[in-house]
Structure 1
Amino acid sequence: MSKSCKGLAMEQIKCLSESDCVKGLRSSFRECAGENNPSIPSECVGLRETYFNCKRGLVDMRAGIRGNKGY
């Protein structure tokens, strides 16, 4: 269950590394991953929210039996 979010993390890294923030503005990956950056595509923001929900599901005790609703 601990690796159920790994696919989402890899997709988020790929999406951010191909964005204009990293390529065009030459900003660091950490700066581009911030919440208030307007140069990030909406699909990367969606992946970030989905990844957050996946990680939150790992510590949710109600999902212990059913498993994580992750990727």
Structure 2
Amino acid sequence: MSNYCDPLIAALKDCVLHSDCVLKQGNLPSTCIKEHMDELPEQCRALRLAAFECKRGMLDMRKRFRGNNAGAAVAKIKQDTEVPPAPPTVTSSA
């Protein structure tokens, strides 16, 4: 259960590293998250909130029975990052 939030955190790191705050302005990722949050894309802000909720859910005793709701966010991130399979190629044998 300790690595339950890792996919969210990894996606947040990747999002911040590819943002304009880091690439164009040359800021550190930690500085972008702490001080320049309004300059980050909406996806990064949503991932930050989801990672926070996941970490908080791990400590919430009520969630032990209901389950941590971060699983839906992790599944959505995995679905968004998967590359769709290539269409099958048709070869003609003449």
* TM-score relative to the length of structure 1: 0.89
Rg larger in 1 or in 2? 2
The answer to which structure has the higher helix fraction is 2
Change (3 A) 1:63 1:4: same
Q: Tell me whether 1:60 sits opposite 2:70 in the alignment.
A: no
Q: How many residues get paired?
A: 71
Please say if residues 4 and 68 of structure 1, whose CA atoms lie closer than 8 Å, have aligned partners that are also in contact. Answer: no
Q: Which amino acid aligns with 1:5?
A: C
- 2:21–2:36 CA contact under 8 A, matched in 1: no
Query: Equivalents in 2 of 1:67, 1:53: separation in Å?
Result: 13
**Greater length-normalized contact order (CA 8 Å, ≥ 6 residues apart):** 1
Q: For residue 40 of structure 1, what is the aligned residue in structure 2?
A: 40
The two structures have a TM-score, normalised by structure 2, of 0.69
CA contact (8 A) 1:19 1:41 kept: yes
What per-residue deviation string (whole Å, max 9, x for no partner) do you get for residues 15-36 of structure 1?
0000000000000111101265
Identity %: 37
Cα distance in 1 for partners of 2:28, 2:7 equals 22
Aligned match of 2:91: none
Give the direction of change, closer, same or farther, for the CA distance of 1:37–1:66 in structure 2 (3 Å limit).
closer
Could you tell me which runs of 5 or more consecutive residues in structure 1 were left unpaired when the two chains were aligned: none
Q: Distance in 1 between matches of 2:36 and 2:20?
A: 15
What amino acid is the match of 2:43?
Answer: E
Q: Is the 8 A contact 2:16 2:29 kept in 1?
A: yes
